């Protein structure tokens, strides 16, 4: 028994010592990770098959929570809202960040100053940012309605109108992500060899053609990373919804601003339906995983990797 254990650790006393050191070094973080995050991952599956209100003991209910999901109009709405928000946020942030990065990649004076301005929102807390944007989107006294007043739109109630409320939420999300994506794009742009542009120019390619046939294909691995991260982040939007609808109707009028994350939070911590909320969480996780896997599968159709890269 003892010798088997020793053999398992290593063939010589020196290698065993080495193995023990390695194990001791990784132990605190690994054990902490497994306890505080690994166990909850396993629990996430079991609780979604239970009914639990945090007071009486949990009760096993089989697939009841998932059957309820299928028939729950509020869940359908939250799912749809999440997709709509993704449709606004992902293209919005990626296109704007690419545009800014391409412009900042030119030889400019005050380049760092511009970069700082675009990056500043990234370091701001989403809660504080959402409070500020709530004020900007106020119907009468907000700065936006003041700017839009000449257009004669009348009083636009951005955060109350169920058809509009996702727009301010998307604006805050995009505003906070542009700088993040921009930094990744800038790193990608600077890795494109200048000779390629030179060669394209000698071949008579104009500015747009160089962008279209040199920049975009060579930048596509970066674009892929940015899009994948943007989607994952978009699925998790919570703070903006929580803060921006807090003063009117939490979750938006008629649930119009409720995203999946917000819905599971409310189900669990307002309605004490922890089992049901866990089922929603599982769907959220599955959706993120599926979309990410799908993107990995289709990347070969549009992402250009140079030989040797993977």
> Segment 153-172, which members bind another protein (CB under 8 A)?
none
What is the nearest approach in angstroms of another protein to the Cβ of residue 77? 18
CB-CB contact of 269 with 155 (8 Å) = no
Binding flag, residue 6, another protein (CB under 8 A)? no
Binding flag, residue 141, another protein (CB under 8 A)? yes
List the x/- string, 101-130, binding to another protein by CB under 8 A: --xxxxxx--x--x-xxxxxxxxxxxxxx-
Nearest residue to 193 (alpha-carbon basis) of 176, 172, 218 = 218
Binding flag, residue 268, another protein (CB under 8 A)? yes
| Touching another protein, residues 25-64 (CB under 8 A) | 25-30, 32-34, 36-41, 43-44, 47, 54
Binding flag, residue 95, another protein (CB under 8 A)? no
Binding flag, residue 272, another protein (CB under 8 A)? no
CB-CB contact of 249 with 256 (8 Å) = no
Binding flag, residue 264, another protein (CB under 8 A)? yes
Chain position carrying tokens 């003991």: 57
Query: Under rule CB under 8 A, how many of the chain's residues touch another protein?
Result: 109
Binding flag, residue 133, another protein (CB under 8 A)? yes
CB-CB contact of 81 with 259 (8 Å) = yes
Nearer to another protein, 80 or 289 (CB): 289
CB-CB contact of 260 with 78 (8 Å) = yes
What is the nearest approach in angstroms of another protein to the Cβ of residue 298? 19
Binding flag, residue 239, another protein (CB under 8 A)? yes
Binding flag, residue 19, another protein (CB under 8 A)? yes
Binding flag, residue 232, another protein (CB under 8 A)? yes
Binding flag, residue 199, another protein (CB under 8 A)? no
What is the nearest approach in angstroms of another protein to the Cβ of residue 30? 6
Binding flag, residue 178, another protein (CB under 8 A)? yes
Binding flag, residue 213, another protein (CB under 8 A)? no
CB-CB contact of 105 with 186 (8 Å) = yes
What is the nearest approach in angstroms of another protein to the Cβ of residue 122? 8
User: Candidates 79-87, 157-165, 206-214, 298-306 — which segment interacts with another protein by CB under 8 A?
Assistant: 206-214
């Amino acid at each position: 028994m003892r010798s088997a254990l020793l053999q398992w650790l290593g063939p010589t006393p020196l290698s065993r010592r080495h193995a023990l050191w390695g194990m001791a070094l990784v132990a605190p973080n690994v054990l902490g990770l497994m306890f505080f995050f690994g166990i909850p991952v396993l629990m996430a599956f079991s609780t979604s098959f239970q009914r639990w209100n945090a007071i009486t003991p949990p009760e096993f209910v089989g697939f009841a929570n998932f059957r309820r999901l299928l028939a729950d109009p509020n869940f359908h709405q939250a799912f749809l809202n999440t997709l709509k928000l993704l449709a606004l946020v992902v293209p919005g942030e990626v296109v704007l960040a690419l545009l800014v990065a391409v412009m900042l990649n030119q030889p400019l004076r005050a380049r760092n100053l511009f970069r700082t301005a675009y990056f500043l929102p990234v370091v701001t807390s989403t809660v504080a940012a959402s409070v500020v944007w709530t004020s900007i989107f106020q119907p009468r006294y907000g700065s936006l309605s003041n700017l839009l007043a000449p257009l004669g739109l009348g009083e636009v109630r951005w955060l109350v109108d169920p058809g509009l409320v996702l727009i301010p939420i998307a604006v805050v999300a995009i505003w906070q992500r542009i700088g993040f994506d921009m930094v990744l794009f800038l790193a990608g742009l600077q890795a494109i060899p200048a000779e390629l542009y030179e060669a394209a120019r000698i071949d008579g390619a104009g500015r747009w053609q160089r962008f279209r046939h040199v920049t975009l294909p060579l930048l596509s691995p970066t674009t892929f990373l940015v899009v994948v991260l943007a989607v994952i982040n978009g699925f998790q939007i919570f703070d903006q919804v929580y803060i921006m609808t807090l003063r009117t109707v939490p979750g938006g009028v008629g649930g119009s601003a409720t995203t999946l994350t917000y819905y599971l939070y409310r189900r669990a911590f307002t309605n004490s339906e922890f089992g049901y909320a866990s089922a929603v969480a599982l769907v959220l996780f599955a959706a993120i995983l599926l979309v990410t896997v799908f993107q990995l599968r289709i990347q070969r159709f549009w992402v250009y990797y140079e030989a040797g890269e993977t």
